[in-house]
Amino acid sequence: MTDAQLFAGKVAIVTGAGRGIGRSHALLLARHGASVIVNDLGSGITGSGSTSAPADTVVEEIRDAGGIAIADVTDIADWDGTKALVDLAIAQFGRLDIVVNNAGITQYESIETETAASWNRVLAVNLTGTAALMHWAVSHWAAEGPAPHRAIINTSSPAGTNPPPGATSYCVSKAGVAALTIATAAEIAHLGVRVNAMAPMARSRMTDAVPMLDDIMKRPASGFDRMSPDNVTRLMLYLASPSCRFTGRVFGIDGDDIYLFEGMSAETHLSNGGKEWDHQALKQALEEIDQQDQAFMIAPNLHARMGAPRREALDALDVVNRGGVAPKSWKAITS
């Protein structure tokens, strides 16, 4: 089988496929033989508005290149409504093999300035939308029975694996996607479904909205483009393919660098020898532990530019504990 036939006869749903990374996913899956449902509500990065134009444009690109695709504008934040995406795949193509949960929005708010409306919308699209499409896809596969080479690829974020300040709901939603991926892997393996997640660092509408990322995200005059969405799509293609051996894993992707995260690992273990801890014992045992572990960070330059919030938070606490007035320990990332 040639690369061009890698997904011949397969059917894929890609959400948020009208622009950016999702568009790249849809185009490459179609180029490798898959029939693709291009889902995109056509909203802005904060979830406002709706238009079919982005999805229609990508479908036209796929068809012009000889591929097969149809457009869809289902709002994946609607749990019951998301069933329509799976129904569409079955009605149009008779099957479903691959789900790529890519759709996402953000709000640049701290926990102090967050509103219920913005919080609920971000979680609804990024986390609930991912879970809803997984639910309906898995329900369909369960009714059909086990089959080989089914795949779900979810989209987390470096903001979910190493959360920075200033976009709280987005960080929480993307951390939830990673946990959702890990939690469901064992549940659906018996159906022949692999589920993995990517935490991509690449150029998108969201990164375009953050001026401090301009230098990191700019296209090079020549040579390898580290921030091209196509780098993420090449990993997605592997995760969707029969070649992939993994399930329940979270892959960081930053240019040509790929990282495998190890869940929420515990770096330190303390034991009290089978006795109850009391306050003094806990104080003594924890006295020598660093105040804040520094886990490995994907895209370290990004976190450095955000002012190392872990250190800033500790410094601010020290000032307040001494009776002083501390500055806010984060800077708005859109400034």
Determine the 3-state secondary structure of 151 from DSSP.
strand
Does residue 328 carry a pLDDT above 50?
Answer: yes
Which pLDDT belongs to residue 306?
43
* C-alpha–C-alpha distance, residues 197 and 171, integer Å: 15
Domain boundaries, the chain: 3-261, 279-321
* C-alpha–C-alpha distance, residues 167 and 313, integer Å: 16
> What is the fold of 3-261?
Rossmann fold (3.40.50)
CA distances from 311 to 157, 167, 221, 325 (A): 22, 18, 36, 17
Which pLDDT belongs to residue 209?
62
Are the C-beta atoms of residues 13 and 100 closer than 8 Å to each other? yes
Q: List the catalytic residues.
A: 157, 170, 174
* C-alpha–C-alpha distance, residues 112 and 194, integer Å: 38
Which pLDDT belongs to residue 84?
96
User: What are the pLDDT digits (tens) for 267-299?
Assistant: 789 999 999 999 999 999 999 887 764 544 556
Q: How confident is the model at residue 112 (pLDDT cuts 50, 70, 90)?
A: very high
Q: How confident is the model at residue 64 (pLDDT cuts 50, 70, 90)?
A: very high
Other Cβ atoms within 10 Å of 178 Cβ, number: 23
User: What are the pLDDT digits (tens) for 170-181?
Assistant: 999 999 999 999
* C-alpha–C-alpha distance, residues 236 and 17, integer Å: 13
Q: How confident is the model at residue 335 (pLDDT cuts 50, 70, 90)?
A: very low
Per-residue pLDDT, averaged over 3-28, amounts to 94
Does residue 308 carry a pLDDT above 60?
Answer: no
* C-alpha–C-alpha distance, residues 51 and 74, integer Å: 11
Average pLDDT of the chain, as a whole number: 87
